[in-house]
Amino acid sequence: KKKKISGNTIAENKKLVDISWFIGCMKEKKLMDIQPSQLLKRKVDADDGPSTKKSRYSGDEAEEHALFRGDANAEARALAFRRGSATLKAHPKEIVCEEDLKNLPYIGLTNSAKAGHCKMVAMEILSEGFSDEVEDVLNGSFYKSMKLFTGIFGIGPQTARKWYHDLGMRTLEDVKGKNISLTYEQSLGMEHYDDLNTPIKLEEAECIIKMVEKACNEVCDELTMTLVGGFRRGKSQGHDLDLLISHPEDGKEKGKLVLIIEKLKEHFIYTGRKMDVSNNLNKGNFASSTMDNFEKCFSIFKFNKSWLNSNLEGKAEWKAVRLDLIVVPSHQFAYALLGWTGTKHFEREIRRYARTEMKIVLTSHGMHSLDTKQNFPAETEEEIFQKLQLEYRAPSERCC
Ligand code: DCT
Ligand code: MG
């Protein structure tokens, strides 16, 4: 049953820098051989995770599996695995033996069952080059089906679990065959399954960016458009394209999204719009949620392949891609930029750090003191890092 992997996951991940490591360093002064400032200056590989050619695991599997299971404590367990793998990704030195794991936050340093579990898996990979437990998860029918089902646009772990456990479904054929009722979004997800599960390439993203930019200019030449998400971190491909739209004058961004969508309407397969609920910082209703209240459009865009390949001119060959447009008022732009650049784990950790270490609530809308309720305006991401007493990290250094 045992299969060898060709590389060492931990060693290959060592170039990536993670904020949980930074926080771990700050809290656990025992890690004297590596200074946080050294880590913050390191050049990193902008692609999340190690190359799949070299390594069997991406570091996401254990977290994913815990979330898929969805039982009591699932989120805490998923987070523990994410923190453990992020710490390993962040480590600037090659980890070769158990001793090297000893002082790592969320692995060897923390004395908890979850940290112990991370350590056990890491040790197994160190000695065998792979982990039986991870292999069992990856090869198991539950993980495989959950991966398939949650790959459908509009399907989350809860529905996927129901399909697996209650309806006994295992494959996409089962989804088609069982005659279950799907929402409009989910049926689009099924229809365009292969396209939506094919990564968007940077060159494709660039074409779409130009088109959205043109539409924005036609609506109002002062509108700005900013690339966020994985592409801003320097990734060469992503599962979607995330764009912030703003106007230098607060309030003038309002009502523009519908006009931009109208300009591009022939290119959209689907435009799921969400109106902004509240931009009022004082209400604090977004404080505990990762989701923000910006007006946005989670769309499916028709990418015409002839835009990149002139040989296809005239042929109706296109693929469906996920495009998110988020409209942001100028005074919240720096916060939205930070919040939408990711990674998800980086956002979670910097917010946790702000709250627990600085008593500051940080969201994509702004930042306020838990004690005084005072808001902190910021023009740039650098100012936000400064306010949090963190050294600035470029987007490419927020990979974890
Ligand atoms: N985000 C977040 N919390 C969420 C969802 C998103 O903080 N629950 C932030 C972090 C990343 C950014 O928004 C964009 O989200 P995704 O597009 O899902 O992630 P990505 O990093 O752009 O990954 P990909 O390249 O695969 O799209
Ligand atoms: Mg994205």
User: Does residue 241 contact residue 321 with C-beta atoms inside 8 Å?
Assistant: yes
Q: Which of 58, 202, 240, 241 to mutate to test the pocket of ligand 1 (most atoms within 8 A of CB)?
A: 240
State the Cα–Cα distance between residues 111 and 365, nearest whole angstrom.
36
pLDDT the model gives residue 157: 93
Nearest bound ligand to the CA of residue 60: 1
- One-letter amino acid at 90 equals A
Distant-in-sequence, close-in-space partners of 382: CB < 8 Å, separation ≥ 6 = 392
Residue nearest atom 22 of ligand 1, based on CA coordinates: 229
For residue 11, name the pLDDT band (cuts at 50, 70, 90): very low
Q: Is any atom of ligand 1 closer than 6 Å to the C-beta of 48?
A: no
CA 151 to chain centre: 15
Residue nearest atom 8 of ligand 1, based on CA coordinates: 290
For residue 139, name the pLDDT band (cuts at 50, 70, 90): confident
**If you average pLDDT over residues 21-37, what whole number do you get?**
37
Higher per-residue confidence, 5 vs 321: 321
Q: Is any atom of ligand 1 closer than 6 Å to the C-beta of 24?
A: no
Digit-coded pLDDT (tens) for 298-350: 999 999 988 887 777 666 689 999 999 999 999 999 999 999 999 888 898 89
Best mean pLDDT range from 18-22, 124-128, 266-270: 266-270
State the Cα–Cα distance between residues 141 and 179, nearest whole angstrom.
22
**If you average pLDDT over residues 193-220, what whole number do you get?**
96
Best mean pLDDT range from 39-53, 134-148, 365-379: 365-379
Q: Which residues is 242 bridged to in the sheet? A: 228, 324
Q: Report whether pLDDT(70) > 70.
A: yes
Digit-coded pLDDT (tens) for 209-232: 999 999 999 999 999 999 999 999
Q: Report whether pLDDT(43) > 80.
A: no
Distant-in-sequence, close-in-space partners of 84: CB < 8 Å, separation ≥ 6 = 62, 106, 107, 114, 115, 118, 119, 121, 122
pLDDT the model gives residue 290: 59
Higher per-residue confidence, 334 vs 11: 334
Q: Is any atom of ligand 1 closer than 6 Å to the C-beta of 64?
A: no
Report CA(223)–ligand 2 centroid distance (Å).
21
349: exposed, middle or buried (Cβ count in 10 Å: 0-12, 13-18, 19+): buried
Nearest bound ligand to the CA of residue 200: 1
Closest to 243 measured CA to CA, from 332, 341, 162, 175: 341
pLDDT the model gives residue 46: 35
Report CA(343)–ligand 1 centroid distance (Å).
6
State the Cα–Cα distance between residues 241 and 262, nearest whole angstrom.
19
**If you average pLDDT over residues 191-216, what whole number do you get?**
96
Mean of all residue pLDDT scores within the chain? 80
Digit-coded pLDDT (tens) for 240-293: 999 999 999 999 999 999 999 999 999 999 998 777 655 444 443 333 445 799
Q: Is any atom of ligand 1 closer than 6 Å to the C-beta of 229?
A: yes
Residue nearest atom 10 of ligand 1, based on CA coordinates: 342
**If you average pLDDT over residues 108-116, what whole number do you get?**
78
pLDDT the model gives residue 285: 38
Residues having C-beta closer than 5 Å to ion ligand 2 = 229-230, 238, 240, 242
CA 162 to chain centre: 25
Q: Is any atom of ligand 1 closer than 6 Å to the C-beta of 153?
A: no
Report CA(231)–ligand 2 centroid distance (Å).
7
Ligand 1 atom closest to the CA of 235, numbered from 1: 25
User: Does residue 393 contact residue 381 with C-beta atoms inside 8 Å?
Assistant: no
Q: Is any atom of ligand 1 closer than 6 Å to the C-beta of 230?
A: yes
For residue 66, name the pLDDT band (cuts at 50, 70, 90): confident
State the SS3 of the chain: CCCCCCCCHHHHCCCCCCHHHHHHHHHCCCCCCCCHHHHHHCCCCCCCCCCCCCCCCCCCHHHHHHHHHCCCCHHHHHHHHHHHHHHHHHCCCCCCCHHHHCCCCCCCCCCCHHHHHHHHHHHHHHHHCCCHHHHHHHHCHHHHHHHHHHCCCCCCHHHHHHHHHCCCCCCHHHHHHCCCCCCHHHHHHHHCHHHHCCCEEHHHHHHHHHHHHHHHHHHCCCCEEEEEHHHHCCCCEECCEEEEEECCCCCCCCCHHHHHHHHCHHHEEEEEEECCCCCCHHHCCCCCCCCCCCEEEEEEEEEEHHHCCHHHCCCCCEEEEEEEEEECCHHHHHHHHHHHHCCHHHHHHHHHHHHHHHCEEECCCCEEECCCCCECCCCCHHHHHHHCCCCCCCHHHCCC
Q: Is any atom of ligand 1 closer than 6 Å to the C-beta of 84?
A: no
Interface predicted TM-score (ipTM) of this complex, two decimals: 0.96
Q: Is any atom of ligand 1 closer than 6 Å to the C-beta of 22?
A: no
Residue nearest atom 5 of ligand 1, based on CA coordinates: 344
**If you average pLDDT over residues 35-53, what whole number do you get?**
33
Best mean pLDDT range from 37-41, 72-76, 91-95, 316-320: 316-320
Q: Is any atom of ligand 1 closer than 6 Å to the C-beta of 342?
A: yes
Residue nearest atom 11 of ligand 1, based on CA coordinates: 342
Q: Is any atom of ligand 1 closer than 6 Å to the C-beta of 397?
A: no
**Residue the block writes with tokens 């994410």:** 82
Report CA(16)–ligand 1 centroid distance (Å).
18
Report CA(229)–ligand 1 centroid distance (Å).
6
State the Cα–Cα distance between residues 29 and 24, nearest whole angstrom.
8
pLDDT the model gives residue 31: 32
User: Does residue 31 contact residue 25 with C-beta atoms inside 8 Å?
Assistant: yes
Q: What percentage of the chain exceeds 90 in pLDDT?
A: 50
Report CA(366)–ligand 1 centroid distance (Å).
18
pLDDT the model gives residue 36: 33
**If you average pLDDT over residues 84-90, what whole number do you get?**
76
CA 246 to chain centre: 22
Closest to 84 measured CA to CA, from 8, 21, 32: 21
State the Cα–Cα distance between residues 82 and 80, nearest whole angstrom.
5
Residue nearest atom 24 of ligand 1, based on CA coordinates: 238
